Amino acid sequence: MSSSLCQTPSCIHAASELLYNLSPDYQTIDPCTNFDTLVCDGFNGRHDIPQDKTSYSTGTIMSENGQTTLRHILESPYPSSSEHSSFSPQNLIKVAASTDEENFLMIQEAYNSCMNETVLQNIGAAPLVSLIDQVAASFPVAEGAYGGDEPLGEADFAALSETILLLERLFVSSFVGLTAGADDKNPDVVIIQAFPRGLSLPSPEYYQDTDTIVTYQAMLEDVFSALLPTNSSRASAKELAKSVVELEAKIASFTPPPEDQSDVTKYYNIVNIADVGKIGPAIGLDSVIQALVPENYTADTMLLAFPEFLGNVSEVVSQASKSTVQSYLIWQLINVYSSYVEAPETHPIDRFSNSLSGKDPDTKPERWKTCVSYVDSTLGWILSRFYIEAAFSDEAKEYGDQIILDIKHQFISKLNDLSWMDDSVKKLAVNKVNNIDQKIGFPTTSPNITNPDALQAYYSGLAISDSFFNNTVASNAREVNRTWSALGKPADHGEWGMQADIVNAYYNPVGNEIVFPAGIMQFPVFELGLPGYVSYGAFASVAGHELSHAFDNSGRHYDEHGNFTDWWTNNTVQEFDKRATCFVDQYNNFTVQGNDGEPLHVNGRLTLGENIADAGGVSAAFAAWKSRTESAPDQNLPGLDFFSHEQLFFVFYANWWCGKVRKEQAIQYIYTDPHSPTFARVLGTTANSRAFRESFNCPVKEPTCELW
């Protein structure tokens, strides 16, 4: 059956953008070995990484378009005449419309408080200094003791615990990250959780790099000489900077690797809170927790990831000098709050951070971008409500739901066809797919962003003024209170972990849910009115990726209700591990250039879950698209007749990953990011796709690695 040519403006636009991104030599490049070059060389040729960014990609462009939409919202009057949807201002009853406008004025005031740089420069570092003084008063050091060796004693443990509590209430972590969240083994119950923290550099590897340590220590010296609380401490800035770096280096030496920190079989460890103080006596985490939990909540047990880490931290802290510990705590505060003041005292932090990620030390993003991001992180659900008004539709939500239901259907079909999975496990796995909660576009509970009263109630108690710094402190305090007040209540599975404008998606194993904000359901990943191979190649592959996480090396440990439990047979586990090892070995062979010019290998174990999900996502998306087009073939796109529709499916998939990254940032990703570099995500996934290899008639049709 021949296909007609789509010549609508949307189709012409999609074809034009894709042709710009393709290599000029796309007709002669071998897709079986250089598909990333074929699809993305044009993108790389016409895009440079902006000065204020560490990378630039298709996703970056989508995010920038979204940010521009948010800017227009925040810099325009309340959209009183909008009739976009049932919750548009024109369609709200008068009382609700009034509340809606109050909410709108709240986000505008927060934005304006951030945008007024003249006022912020006049205020300078004063509000940050006020917080520093609070930390110094909470953990005092004698004036003559700075730079000396006066060690921490048991008599100081209580003050240290009180200061860690002070920081936690300011939304600042120190040696350990504390939170409250759903229990992996009982996802309807909220429990206290603690995870390793304590490092200011991106990963432990940075503490072994001499050049990084020298520049980091010099930056700390500059900051300490300007912001430490007393003349004596500022005069000892050089010694204190050195001792703080040494303290962090010791913590780095026993920090669990990121692949272990994300492994539920390794981090899930329930302990009695009474024992936590014995494990780490210098930190006094038990006292901190008792002060943070609600008055009516009895705190008996908690999840303490890697108890040996807490014990080691306690030991190195107890051996450090009091002045080192105080300076470390003050630095943790400064590091979080320095971006909320405009002052020369904090400029060394920006310069160091820029250099570490490969940017020019003095680069600075346009202020409106900073302030849009600030409002999104502070009052994100109100901003999301107006973003949805401007950039999403009921039809888009329906199409997204259809795609994900198609993905579920195909994934179940693939499960049933597996020869290596035992039938008893297949049955439970199918139940798990059917039970996955799919959330599309925006939340309608916790809060319901279409309801102005619900939004106002969600942010009740948060007073927004013309003070940027005070707004930040108030918002952080509210978030801390919201987190800890969840204890003793059923876990709220209506909550989302991303605002509606975010260009991303996620699978949450605790609760068994996949979430797709409206931000990722935009061109060129997703659009109504285009041939199916566009949205199925890109968005459906993302959807399949997130669903595949339910069965990756981490997600497979959770059952259909999101419980961490042992529900696979031994034989199925062995067969899974055998195939997973193939992915580890495959991705270990991808490299980026290291600082010394030598190749730095991808960590196949750290990236295993994402690599499994990439392969499973494309496989399910291709099958879903083929099923959809059996009765109604897609139209052709103008100028792309060189490719078959099957090939275009994969071209649009790879187009989503077009991008470039600074060398320094690429290195950081190798150490910290569970995702493989984008070129590896294209080359690895297409090597693992039978459908790709058949569509392009590659010599070898068999996938390199295959699970789902």
Q: What is the pLDDT of residues 144-181, one digit of tens each?
A: 888 778 889 999 999 999 999 999 999 999 999 999 99
User: What local confidence, expressed as pLDDT, does residue 83 receive?
Assistant: 72
- Residues β-bridged to residue 57: 659
Distances (CA, A) of 387 to 74, 110, 366, 532, 571: 10, 16, 21, 26, 49
Give which of 138, 129, 140, 178 is closest to 161, Cα–Cα.
138
Instruction: Provide the sign of the torsion angle of the four alpha carbons 18, 24, 26, 29, taken in this order.
Output: negative
* End-to-end Cα separation, the chain, in angstroms: 31
Other beta carbons less than 10 A from residue 344's beta carbon: 10
Report the pLDDT averaged over residues 407-416.
98
Question: DSSP class of residue 436?
Answer: P
- 614-657 pLDDT, tens digit each: 999 999 999 999 999 998 999 999 999 999 999 999 999 999 99
pLDDT at 204 over 60: yes
Contact 171, 292 (CB under 8 A): no
Percent of the chain at pLDDT exceeding 90 = 95
Angle between helices 94-115 and 58-74 (to 10 degrees): 110
Distances (CA, A) of 495 to 52, 143, 392, 477: 32, 48, 20, 19
- pLDDT classification of 82: cutoffs 50, 70, 90: confident
* Amino acid in the structure at residue 126: A
User: What local confidence, expressed as pLDDT, does residue 104 receive?
Assistant: 97
* Amino acid in the structure at residue 155: A
pLDDT at 91 over 90: no
- 245-290 pLDDT, tens digit each: 999 999 999 999 999 999 999 999 999 999 999 999 999 999 999 9
- 667-695 pLDDT, tens digit each: 999 999 999 999 999 999 999 999 999 99
pLDDT at 1 over 70: no
Separation of alpha carbons 479 and 76, rounded Å:
28
Residue given tokens 């505008």 in the structure block: 108
Distances (CA, A) of 276 to 139, 194, 376: 21, 10, 36
User: What local confidence, expressed as pLDDT, does residue 145 receive?
Assistant: 84
User: What local confidence, expressed as pLDDT, does residue 88 receive?
Assistant: 75
User: What local confidence, expressed as pLDDT, does residue 455 receive?
Assistant: 97
User: What local confidence, expressed as pLDDT, does residue 335 receive?
Assistant: 98
Contact 420, 575 (CB under 8 A): yes
User: What local confidence, expressed as pLDDT, does residue 478 receive?
Assistant: 97
Beta strand 659-661 pairing with 270-272 = unpaired
User: What local confidence, expressed as pLDDT, does residue 89 receive?
Assistant: 74
Contact 336, 171 (CB under 8 A): yes
Backbone angles phi, psi at 27, to 5 degrees: -80, -15
Convert 183-229 into a string of H (helix), E (strand) and C (coil): ECCEEEEEEEEEEECCCCCCCHHHHHCHHHHHHHHHHHHHHHHHHCC
Contact 533, 648 (CB under 8 A): yes
For residue 602, give the 3-state DSSP assignment. coil
Secondary-structure breakdown of the chain: helix, strand, coil percentages, each rounded to the nearest 5: 60, 10, 35
Listed in order, strand segments (DSSP E) in 380-472 are 437-441
Contact 151, 530 (CB under 8 A): no
Report the pLDDT averaged over residues 94-121.
93
pLDDT at 208 over 80: yes
Backbone angles phi, psi at 256, to 5 degrees: -60, 145
User: What local confidence, expressed as pLDDT, does residue 3 receive?
Assistant: 84
User: What local confidence, expressed as pLDDT, does residue 147 receive?
Assistant: 74
pLDDT at 95 over 80: no
Kindly state the helix (H) or strand (E) to which residue 592 belongs, with its residue range: strand 591-593
* Amino acid in the structure at residue 347: H
- 577-599 pLDDT, tens digit each: 999 999 999 999 999 999 988 99
Query: Global pTM?
Result: 0.96
Beta strand 55-57 pairing with 659-661 = antiparallel
Separation of alpha carbons 304 and 272, rounded Å:
9
Report the pLDDT averaged over residues 499-510.
98
Question: DSSP class of residue 634?
Answer: P
- pLDDT classification of 341: cutoffs 50, 70, 90: very high
Separation of alpha carbons 448 and 438, rounded Å:
16
For residue 268, give the 3-state DSSP assignment. coil
Residue given tokens 């505060």 in the structure block: 333
